[in-house]
Amino acid sequence: MDKVFVKFGKHSATPTGDEISTGLGLLIAKQIINLSNGEIKLESEEGKGAKFIIEFKAEYLESYS
């Protein structure tokens, strides 16, 4: 499933052998999340769809002053 995070990746993942392509969106998202010391995960089940899980630490600020 790491192929979805590749720039302009192409692979055959359908039962009919149709080619599926990826663009830049997920790659950019992963890079931004990694820069924030976070992690993006993909869970996928055929015929049911996919779920992206994004985890990173954030600090709560009481005020900006």
Please, what are the averages of pLDDT over each run of 10 residues along the chain (65 residues)? 70 67 83 93 89 90 77
Write out the residue range of the structural domain in which residue 11 sits: 2-55
Q: Is residue 63 part of a domain?
A: no
Q: Is residue 61 part of a domain?
A: no
Q: Is residue 36 part of a domain?
A: yes
The per-residue pLDDT for 55 is: 95
What is the residue-wise DSSP string for the chain?
A: -GGGGSTT-EEE-STT--EEE--SHHHHHHHHHHHTT-EEEEEEETTTEEEEEEE------S---
pTM for the model stands at: 0.60
What is the number of structural domains in the chain?
1
